[in-house]
């Protein structure tokens, strides 16, 4: 007896399977095709509805979930999307922060939205700048900053509790949303300030200095502190190593690094300190103690350079960025753009 042919999609016409069954199978591909078209149409309709509701700033759970699935943007910066769900998440955190901290100045819903949009746009631009200049943040750098924050909180458990109460976040989320962007910002400032090719367009005079701080308490004991500071100053003038004495007598966080303050420009320090620093030649120490609101300082300038003003660079990038708000909220950039156009 001849073996019955297997009924496949290619042999449906000549299939030995009963006619009725083959007719059912012949209709199967059309059914699957129709199902596929239906899914596509349904998805398109769902996306359209979601985009429309997002534009009207809907916070219905179903719409928010659909916006997450479809990655619906609330804005675009230089063509790159800022997700609606990220916007809502930050709105929620900031709103709750002000509710839980009534002692802080209360702000309107519109002001909260403006702050969130500014932050998200700034983060997007920082990511673009980091990519453009090949700036990367090492995990060790984030962990180092994380350790400092944990120490300030008084331990990891306390940090977890604080971030949960204040932001509604786990500490890991706080690291991701706050600490990591902060480290990236610091890295961008460090790299861009040293880009000599940008210095001509965004000029900034900088100095790298060391200091030894002796805090004052505005009491009778201050005379003793000032006398000790003058003794240390004379030892430095006599040829002793500044960094070693800073480690021994320094009272702030720079002491362990020999008093190194790194590079800074005008406007970064209090006026008395700044005036003294920019008045010194590289390699020289102040003749007299510099007094500020923090106490008295022994100051040494290591180097000077013409650097790039990172604040001006970032402001220029912010102004020139193509910022399109896609939802019905107040556009915080309109006034800025109008003022810029008027000046132009």
Give, in order, the Cα–Cα distances in Å from 227 to each of 64, 103, 222, 249. 65, 42, 8, 13
Q: Are 216 and 230 in contact (CB under 8 A)?
A: no
pTM comes to: 0.70
Range of the domain at 50: 11-55
- Same domain, yes or no, for 86 and 166? yes
Reported as a single tens digit per residue, the pLDDT across 266-324 is: 888 999 999 999 999 999 999 999 999 999 999 999 999 988 999 899 999 999 999 99
CATH code of the domain in which 263 resides: 3.10.50.40
- Which has more pLDDT, 221 or 132? 132
With respect to residue 321, please indicate whether it lies within any of the assigned structural domains.
Answer: no
Per-residue pLDDT at 97 exceeds 80: yes
Same domain, 47 and 106: no
What mean pLDDT is predicted for residues 146-159?
91
First to last CA, the chain: 93
**Domain closes at, from 164, 198, 232:** 198
If asked whether residues 142 and 231 sit together in one domain, one would say no
Per the structure, the count of domains in the chain is 3
**Closest by alpha carbon to 146, among 113, 166, 170?**
170
**Domain end call among 144, 175, 198:** 198
Domain presence at residue 126: yes
Regarding whether 224 and 190 lie in a shared domain, the answer is no
Residue 24 φ then ψ, to 5°: -65, -40
């Amino acid at each position: 007896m001849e073996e019955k042919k297997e009924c496949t999609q290619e042999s449906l016409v000549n299939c030995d399977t009963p006619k009725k069954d083959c007719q059912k199978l012949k209709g199967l591909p059309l059914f699957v095709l129709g199902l596929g078209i239906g899914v596509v149409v349904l998805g398109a309709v769902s996306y359209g509805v979601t985009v429309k509701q997002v534009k009207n700033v809907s916070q219905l759970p179903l719409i928010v979930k659909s916006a997450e699935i479809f990655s619906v943007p609330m804005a675009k910066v230089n063509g790159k999307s800022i997700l609606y769900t990220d916007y809502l998440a930050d709105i929620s955190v900031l709103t709750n922060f002000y509710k839980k901290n009534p002692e802080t100045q209360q702000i309107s819903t519109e002001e909260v939205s403006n702050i969130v949009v500014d932050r998200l746009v700034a983060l997007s631009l920082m990511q673009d700048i980091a990519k453009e200049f090949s700036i990367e943040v090492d995990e060790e750098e984030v962990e180092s900053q994380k350790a400092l924050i944990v120490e300030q909180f008084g331990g990891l458990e306390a940090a977890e509790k604080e971030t949960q109460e204040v932001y509604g976040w786990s500490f890991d989320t706080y690291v991701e949303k706050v600490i990591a962007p902060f480290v990236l910002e610091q890295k961008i400032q460090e790299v861009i300030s040293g880009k000599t090719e940008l210095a001509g367009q965004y000029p900034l005079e900088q100095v790298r200095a060391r200091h030894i701080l002796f805090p004052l308490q505005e009491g009778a004991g201050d005379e003793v502190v000032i006398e000790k500071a003058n003794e240390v100053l004379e030892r430095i003038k006599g040829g002793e190593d500044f960094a070693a004495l800073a480690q021994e007598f320094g009272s702030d966080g720079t002491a362990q690094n020999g008093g190194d303050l790194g590079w800074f420009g005008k406007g970064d320090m209090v006026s008395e300190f700044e005036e003294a620093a920019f008045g010194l030649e590289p390699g020289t120490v102040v003749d007299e103690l510099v007094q500020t609101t923090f106490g008295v300082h022994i100051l040494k300038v290591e180097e000077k350079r013409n650097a790039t003003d990172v604040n001006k660079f970032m402001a220029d990038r912010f102004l020139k960025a193509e910022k399109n708000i896609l939802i019905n909220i107040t556009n915080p950039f309109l006034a800025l753009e109008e003022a810029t156009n008027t000046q132009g």
